[in-house]
Amino acid sequence: MPDAIGPDQIFQRALASKEILLPKCDDCGAYHFFPRVLCPHCHGASISWMQASGRGRVHATTVVRRKPERGGDYNVCMVELDEGVRMMSRVEGVAPGDVTIDMEVSAFIGEGDGDLLVLFKPVEG
């Protein structure tokens, strides 16, 4: 079945059409991330894909220190989405060291090394 696609491709293809989809369990109603063929909470195997709210807050953050000639410092953080799932990402639009725990952020689709990525920016206000 060359047309069959798995959870990874569903997520990636959605990004390519400018959508962030999150897997949600039909049985227990909980979201999970990374995408899987089963729910890691209740182990149900019936999964639906839902449009992500894109809203979240920074759960933890660090600055990866890198020499300026190699591109300089950058942010790596853990964002907890309103859906209750956590993903590694990067907050852009502020200096890497100005990303703070509990900062409210919103998702956008960006690019890195040729891949489409979920990135975040601070919520204005």
Q: With CB under 8 A as the rule, give the number of residues binding another protein.
A: 25
Question: By 3-state DSSP, what share of the chain in percent is helix, strand and coil, each rounded to 5?
Answer: 15, 40, 45
Which residues inside 12-31 make contact with another protein, applying CB under 8 A?
none
Beta-carbon contacts of residue 9 (< 8 Å; ≥ 6 apart): none
Residues 37-66 touching another protein, rule: CB under 8 A, are: 59-65
CB of 109 to another protein, least distance (A): 12
Which parts of this chain interact with another protein (CB under 8 A)? 8, 33-34, 59-65, 74, 76-78, 86-90, 97, 101, 112-113, 115, 117
